[in-house]
A and B are shown apart, each in its own frame.
Chain A
C-alpha cells in the first residue's frame, strides 16, 4: 500500500514538474517502487519469470533507461519539459481530474468484477493517463518519450492489478519494446537536434497534406 501511495505521489509530481531532470528522477524512483511491488505481488509465479520481471524493473526501468535519458538530455541541452510555460494550476487541475477519474473507474470496475485489485488498477490507470497528459500537454519530444515510459509503467501496474502472468516470451517482448523504443527514439532526438536545431514538436511538422 505504501509503495502504491509513493508511486501515486511520483505521478502527481511528474504531472506538475517543469524540469526534465525532476522527471528523470521520478522515473528512477518509479522503477524502484515497481521492483518492490513486483516482489510483493509476484512471489508465487515461476522463478525464471519473476527474476526476469525483477531485472526489468530494477535494472532497465530504474537504471539503464533513466541514464540513457540523462545522456540525451545533456547532449541536447534540454532542461525544461516544454518550450512554452504551462500554468501550474492547469497542470494541477489535470492531475486532480486524472486521479479522481482513475479511482472512480477502479472502484466501479472492482464492483462489477472481483478479478482485479482495485488499488493497483486505479494507480495503473492514473499512470497511463499521466503519461498521455505528458505527451499531449508538452511540446518537447524528450518529454513525450518520458510520458511513454510512464504509460508503460502504468501497464506494468495493470498486469499486477489483473494478477495476470504473461508468458516469458511476451514479457521479453514488452521489455524489448520499451528498450528499443526508448533507445531508437533517444537516438532520433539526437538527430532531430542536429538536423532541425531543436527538439520541439514544432520542428516536426513538415509532413502534411
Chain B
C-alpha cells in the first residue's frame, strides 16, 4: 500500500512540476491530500500489520502520520495563499510548481519514514527528505536562502553519512552480513544477541547523524538557520513532522537498545543530548531577536525534553511521544500565524513588529495562545506532558536533572515571553500605527485556532483510542 501511496505522490508531484499551471498544482495537491487521508484510514484499519517487507502499520507510525495529515491540510492551504501573495497572479510558474512538487514529496517521504520497518529504507527516505527540503528552503532565492540551503544540504549529508555508518555497525552488531538484518523488527527480536560494543557505536552515530533531523545537539543549527529563511509552511513541517521523523528513527533503535546490557549507557547519552539541547535553547534565545529563530530554539528545547523523557525508560516513552504530538500542534499553529506576521511586516523581528495587536487582533490572539501552548502554561496540553516528565524525574530521584531542566525552561519562558509581548504590545506602537489593519484570511485563522484547540483538548482529555495507541507505541 505504501508503495502505491509513494507512486501516487510521485505522480502528483510530477503533475505539479511538469505542467506548471495553477490548476495542475491545485489538482495535484487535492489528489495527494486525498491519498494521504486515505492512507491514514487504511493504516488505522490495518494497524499492527505489515505492509510489504519494508513497511509496517504500527501505532507509533500511525500516531505521527495522523499528526502530519492534520497539519498538512493547513500547510498546503497556506502554501497556496503564500504563493498567490508572493507571486501575485501566480506568474512565477516555475518557482511555484517546484515548491508544490517538493512539498508533496516531503510529506510523502516523512509519512513513509514513520511506517518504515527497515533501517535501509528509512535511511533512503530521510535522504530524499533532505533533497526535497533543500528545494523548499531555497524558495526565496535570496543570499540568505542560498547560505541556508548550502548549510542544510552539506551538514545533512554529513549527518546522513553518519547514519549510514551506524547502519553498517548495526549490521556487525547483528553478527550477520545479510541486508535482511536491517529490518527493524528483526533488530528488536534479536536485541538480546546484539554485540554491545558495536551497538554502542551504532547508537551514538545514529543519534548524532539524526540530530540534523531532530533538531537537537550537535547539529541543531542547521535546522534553525533554515527556519530563518524558509517559507512559513515549510517551517511548520521542519519544526514538527521532520523532528518527529528523526525522533521515530532514534526511538526505534532505542527500543532495541533498552533490551541489552547497554541500556543505561544509552539512557545517559539521551539524557546528556537532551540537557545540552535545553541549555543551548536557554542561552541562544537570549541572543536572537528573530522570532523564527526563537521558535526554532523552542523546538530544540522541546525535543531535548522528549529525549530526557526517553532516558527515563519505558515509563517516560509515553510522555515523550505524547509531548511531541502536542508540540507539533502548538508549533504548527504558531508558525502558520508567522505567515500572517510576514504578510503584514515582511520580517520577523519582534521589536519591529510591535503593535501587532493593532494590525491583526485575531492573529495576535493566536500568537498569544500559541505562546501559552509552547511554553506549557495551563491550559496548554504540553503542561500535562511536562508534568508527567517532571513527576517521573522526581519519582526516580533525579533531582539535579529536574532542577536544571526547570531552571533552563524558565529562562526560555521569560525570554520568549518578553519578545512575544514586545511584538504584541510593543512600545513602538505609536510609530507603527501607519501599518494598516489588515483583513486576514478567515480559513487560515480557523485552521490555526483548531490546531491549537486540539493541542489543548487532547492534552487534558486524551481520547481512549489515543491513550491505547500511545501505550502500544511504547511497548513494541
Contacts and interface: CB of A to CB of B under 8 A. Distances in A.
Contacts of B146: 188, 191-192, 195
Interface residues of B, number: 45
B394 interface: no
B47 to A, nearest CB: 26
Contacts of B225: 207
A142 B436 CA distance: 47
A173 B157 contact: no
A196 to B, nearest CB: 7
Interface string A162-202: 11111101100110110011001100100110011000000
A158 interface: yes
For chain A, the bracket of interface size reads: 35 or more
Which of A128, A169, A170, A196 is the most central at the interface, judged by chain B CB atoms within 10 Å of its CB? A170
Main secondary structure of the interface of B (DSSP, over half): helix
A152 interface: yes
A204 B147 contact: yes
A90 interface: no
A36 to B, nearest CB: 21
Given A173-B124, A174-B164, A185-B150, A113 B177 contact: no
B290 to A, nearest CB: 7
Interface string B103-145: 0000000000000000011011001100100100000000110
B144 A207 contact: yes
A166 B149 contact: no
A209 B178 contact: no
Nearest to A49: B179
Given A115-B175, A164-B168, 14 more contacts: A113-B172, A144-B154, A155-B164, A158-B165, A162-B168, A162-B177, A164-B177, A167-B179, A170-B124, A173-B124, A195-B143, A204-B147, A207-B229, A209-B293
24 contacts: A115-B172, A115-B177, A115-B198, A151-B161, A155-B164, A155-B168, A162-B169, A162-B172, A165-B177, A165-B179, A166-B120, A170-B120, A173-B127, A176-B127, A177-B157, A196-B143, A204-B151, A206-B143, A206-B147, A207-B144, A207-B148, A207-B225, A207-B228, A209-B288
Interface of A: 109, 112-113, 115-116, 128, 135, 141, 144-145, 148, 151-152, 155, 158-159, 162-167, 169-170, 173-174, 176-177, 180-181, 184-185, 188, 191-192, 195-196, 204, 206-207, 209
